[in-house]
Structure 1
Amino acid sequence: MHILVQKFGGTSLATDERRAQVASIVSEAVHEGYSPVVVVSAIGRSGDPYATDTFLTMVRGIHPDLPKRELDLLMSCGEVISGTVLVSTLKSLGLKAVLLTGGQAGIITNNDFGDARIVRVEPAEILEQLAAGYVVVVTGFQGVTESGQITTLGRGGSDTTASALGVALNAESIDIYTDVEGIMTADPRIVEDARILDTVTYNEICQLAYQGAKVIHPRAVEIAMQRNIPLRIKSTFSKAPGTLVTNMHPDREVGTDITTDRIIAGIAHTPNVTQFKIMTTDASNKQLTDKRIFKAMALADISVDFISVQPEAVLYTVSDEVAAKAVQILQNMDFETEVVPSCAKVSIVGAGIAGVPGVMADMVEALSDAGVTILQSADSHTTIWVLVHQRDMVTAVQALHKKFKLDI
């Protein structure tokens, strides 16, 4: 059995015409000899009648503090609706199709309502339906606990569902269909000559996703990487081949040119962050002070990023929307704090960065020549991050894209 996992986002399922296109893609896979497992998101986006955010707005207008268990029950409805509609569309083409919820598909999670993690997948029911010749449509974004409680998987949950099923079923590929034609070297709304990447490594796409690229959730990539299941990012509305995410080049032959020495794969950016610099001059209690700062943020459910612990200061960023809350907490703790609002993190990502001299020098030169001030920097084996004023974000992304010749 040649199993192919196909995931379709909400925009791909928003209209009759688009659902017909999705059904055509699934039908083509069947005729090519695949047994498709189709993962669906809720129809449309916020404001559309069956979108998850629309359901949430409705109940929060009645009471703003519904328990997470009940919220997960509500949020699971959107995928059930879109899955049922897609099964109907597939049947109209003469295909045998069946809908399974996340729980029926064997997706078992922990008990963290609203942001559950998959602990295992029991795919027996899927395999039975596939063996009977059915296209199996699975509701993304959801699973069940050991006791049968419905949970949702948080942001990017349908991508995570697709990857988890791909690994559990040992699929030949996991195809993520979106409204773009693949992973691009930068956001095309910022860089006009951004181009689609033919291939990227799992590590590169994980870093691009973590640093702001929104085509696929990094958790989904990490799951697929466990078994080296190829991921393909494609457009529902185009025949373009998309981007292949893998650890190896698909068509490499003996004696062919080496292409893995590409230094930079792409530029990512994360806007709307605030930088905090907290002076910690008491050397005798430095470790305790650092611990108190981050413990306070954690207890307030504030996620911190871009952390730099220095001998006389601690620097980190939070999203702009929680910055005021973080300021209040630090003031209550009597910390001397410098706050720089409206910043953006800009990142260059590439598997070839490690061990290559001059990459940081080129990055600094490009930003300096463009008049962009670097507020903070950090690096890893595959990524170099800089923090800049948000007013400079577009200039920074464009300058780096040009400097590293990503348009070629």
Structure 2
Amino acid sequence: MSIIVQKFGGTSVANAEKIRAAAQRAVAAKQAGHQVVMVVSARGKKTDELVRLAAEMSENPAAREMDMLLSTGEQESVSLMAMAVHSLGEKAVSLTGGQIGITTDSTFSRARIESISTDRIRKHLDAGEIVIACGFQGIDPEMNITTLGRGGSDTTATALAAALQADECQIYTDVEGVFTTDPRVVSAARKVSLLAYDEMLELASLGAGVMHSRSIEFAKKFCVPLRVRPSFDEGEGTLIANTGEQRMVAGLALARNEARVTLADLPDQPGVTSCIFACMAKRKIPVDMVVQNVAVDGKATVSFTVQEGELADTLTAANEAIKILGAGTIRSGTNVAKLSVVGAGMRNHSGVAAQMFDILLKKGINLQMITTSEIKISVLVERDRCDEALLAVHEGFCMETAVPQTPEIGIQQKTKSPECDQSEDQLLSRIVSKLAKMEDIVVSEVQLDESQSRVTLHHIPDVPGTCAEIFTTVANKNIMVDMIVQNVSDTGHAEVSFTVQRTDLENCLKLVGELASKWDDATVSHEPEIGKLTVVGIGLRTHTGVGEKMFKALADANINIQMINTSEIRMSAVVAADQGKTGFKVLNKAFNLVEEA
């Protein structure tokens, strides 16, 4: 019999009416033939109320007692939920984290799961009961109640879904699902029915905060289908899963209050980027949209964006870096915004960037910076025109068209994870190991791509339409472009670099050479063999130490960086081809991934 895990957050169980509505959903799923596990958070503002009460008792309450206190919020919710299910004529049992079978260490308020047992849950499910489990908590070896920290209920739900090999983990929330973009800005925005895990990770990092990014990454590791569903109506929401659907663009995001910083005239040598990132990380400044283009005349330029409120501290850190390096100049600007498009289909469609640039060209919107990943393109535009740009791109990709609905719960095309072929004991051990690592590290993988070449156009016109013409010309010949980097220009001319498969290099050079011949002073350079190093993870922008650690490891190995671009889940650097394998080795060591390399 199929198993469905349903997770209800605090707003979904805030009062008696909402608790009864949640209970009805669980009963409906059971009556449809599924075994049901509910994971329930504390009601509404209950946790805040308990924290305030603790503060009235003590200025510095013991961590153990805080876990004992805060865990009562979930216990209240699950007991009330069980009563509601009973009133609907179905059997149910409420269980604390310890009763479920979740054992943790004794790190109160941020405990790590050490073991999971599913025996008791399966016994109750086989007896025809709906299991109602406390999220956010477990029990340590001394029988103390512990809590799991931020995103704990999502962690509980996805971990149990993986352990039980559930057909679906449903996350009930106060939104209809994930939208193509912010419906408050674009009235034509539509709910997305189906997203790939990586698409959701990018969108979550960009602000679509319907659930915790770590839980999405964990679900991806174990192929747990996630469905974000509205708690207030019967909508099917958004399914997040391994999907064969390859839409070019699944969603758009806009970050308004950006500021750009450029460090120019830097020495083109190992350690420069490491120094910059170290100075930023020292002040805990999250940098975004990091761009480094190919050096010219032995001088490198690195640009990035930060939140406008961080600009003063950023300039202080940048000046410190310049002093350490003994060379360089600093430029900055405000009134900019970052527009991003996300879609798994970009991996297999050659013209996404060209289409986006052409859409913005038709509105006369210039691109100040460009950075890309496998499934995301970000551009920096004038803030005064960012809403216009967002609307234009949304319309240009026909995203207002409703997408097909996804299958009902209990989907049959679910792809089992390789781990699921193991015995249950092996699977549970693997799940616990991954949970610990997801709490420990941000970077989950290092990749090396040795199949690409680099192409750079120098001194091209810095006007709307230049990039659209370049990438439309390339896309029309079905040449796939991977990394695209355009740095800030203050001279009226720009430089754009991109990578292509080595097999496409000759044709690409012919095409861009013809284009360059139309522009005064424009030239083309290339490197037929490069190494592209990428660290993959979650929250790379907000975890300020990731870039510092990545670039320090490369600098310590005397590896010079030719190009950089970033996204929320990927950070890539182009290095010389003969240094790729060394870079791969040192990055795996730096992020403690040696065993998985």
TM-score by length of 1: 0.81
Distance (Å, rounded) in 2 between the aligned partners of 1:355 and 1:328 = 42
- Secondary structure of 1:208's counterpart equals helix
Aligned to 2:230: 235
Q: 2:368 aligns with which of 365, 375, 386?
A: 375
- Corresponding residue of 1:37: 37
Question: 1:244-292, CA deviations, whole angstroms, 9 ceiling, x for partnerless residues?
Answer: 223247xxxxxxxxxx353111212344444333346133xx4333223
State how many pairs are aligned.
390
Structure having the higher Rg? 2
SS at match of 2:270: helix
Question: Does 2:172 match 1:189?
Answer: no
Aligned residue number for residue 101 of structure 1: 96
What corresponds to 1:254 in structure 2? none
Consecutive unaligned residues in structure 2, runs of 5 or more: 324-328, 402-597
Match of 2:345 in 1: 352
**Structure 1 residue identity aligned to 2:370:** S
Structure 1 position 186, deviation (Å) = 1.6
From 205, 220, 226, the equivalent of 1:210 is 205
The answer to whether 1:267 aligns with 2:255 is no
In structure 1, the residue matched to 2:279 is: 296
| Conservation of the 8 A alpha-carbon contact between 1:363 and 1:400 | yes
Residue in structure 2 matched with residue 305 of structure 1 by the alignment: 288
Report if the CA contact (8 A) 1:143-1:153 is conserved. no
Relative to structure 1, the CA distance from residue 330 to residue 262 in structure 2 (aligned partners, 3 Å threshold; closer, same or farther) is: closer
Partner residue in 2 for 1:398:
391
Per-residue CA distance 1:19-41 (angstroms, 9 max, x = gap): 11111111112222322111123
CA shift, 1:169, in A, is 0.7
Cα gap change, 1:268/1:157 in structure 2, threshold over 3 Å: closer, same or farther?
farther
User: Are the equivalent residues in 1 in contact too, given 2:102–2:138 (CA < 8 A)?
Assistant: yes
Give the superposition deviation at 1:324.
Answer: 4.5
Q: Percent same amino acid at aligned positions?
A: 36
The answer to whether the aligner puts 1:407 opposite 2:400 as a matched pair is: yes
Give the structure 2 partner of residue 177 of structure 1: 172
User: SS at 1:237's partner residue?
Assistant: coil
Aligned partner of 1:316: which letter?
F
- Name the SS for the 2:207 alignment partner: coil
1:9 equivalent to 2:9? Answer yes
Structure-2 residue corresponding to 1:361: 354
Cα separation, 2, equivalents of 1:158 and 1:377 = 37
Instruction: Describe the SS at the equivalent of 1:352.
Output: helix
**Is the CA contact (8 Å cut-off) linking 1:296 and 1:329 kept in structure 2?**
yes
TM-score, L = length of structure 2: 0.57
Instruction: Answer yes or no: is the 8 Å Cα contact 1:366–1:400 preserved in 2.
Output: yes
1:237 Cα deviation from its structure 2 partner: 1.9
Question: Within 1, Cα distance between the matches of 2:65 and 2:265?
Answer: 44
Instruction: Name which of structure 1's ranges 179-188 and 396-405 shifts more when overlaid on structure 2.
Output: 179-188
> 1:115-145: per-residue Cα shift (whole Å, max 9, x none)?
6665653333322333344322223344456
| 8 Å Cα contact 1:234-1:242 kept in structure 2 | yes
Distance 1:275 1:145 in 2: 47
Q: Verify the 8 A CA contact 1:353 1:359 in the aligned structure 2.
A: yes
Is residue 2:305 matched to residue 1:317? yes
Distance (whole Å) between structure 2 residues aligned to residue 341 and residue 144 of structure 1: 50
Q: Closer, same or farther in 2 for the Cα pair 1:333/1:201, shift >3 Å?
A: closer
Give the secondary-structure state (helix, strand or coil) at the position aligned to 1:83: helix
User: Which region of structure 1 is more displaced relative to structure 2, 89-98 or 316-325?
Assistant: 316-325
In the alignment, the residues of structure 2 paired with residue 152 and residue 341 of structure 1 have an alpha-carbon distance, to the nearest angstrom, of 39
Instruction: Give the distance between the partners of 1:12 and 1:152, measured in 2 at CA.
Output: 20
Whether the 8 Å contact between 1:69 and 1:151 is mirrored in structure 2 is no
Q: Secondary structure at the match of 1:396?
A: helix
**Equivalent residue runs for 1:149-188 within 5 Å:** 150-154=146-150, 156-188=151-183
Residue 353 (structure 1) shift: 0.9
Q: Name the SS for the 2:229 alignment partner.
A: strand
| Bigger mean CA offset, 15-24 vs 208-217 | 208-217
Question: Is the 2:42–2:77 Cα contact (8 Å) retained in structure 1?
Answer: yes
Aligned amino acid, residue 15 of structure 1: N
SS of the equivalent of 1:379 reads strand
In 1: Cα distance, 2:55 partner to 2:366 partner: 42
- Distance in 2, Cα, partners of 1:405 & 1:159: 33
Aligned positions of 1:11-90 closer than 5 A? 11-44=11-44, 48=45, 50=46, 52-53=47-48, 55-56=50-51, 76-90=71-85
What is the CA-CA distance between 1:43 and the residue it aligns to? 2.2
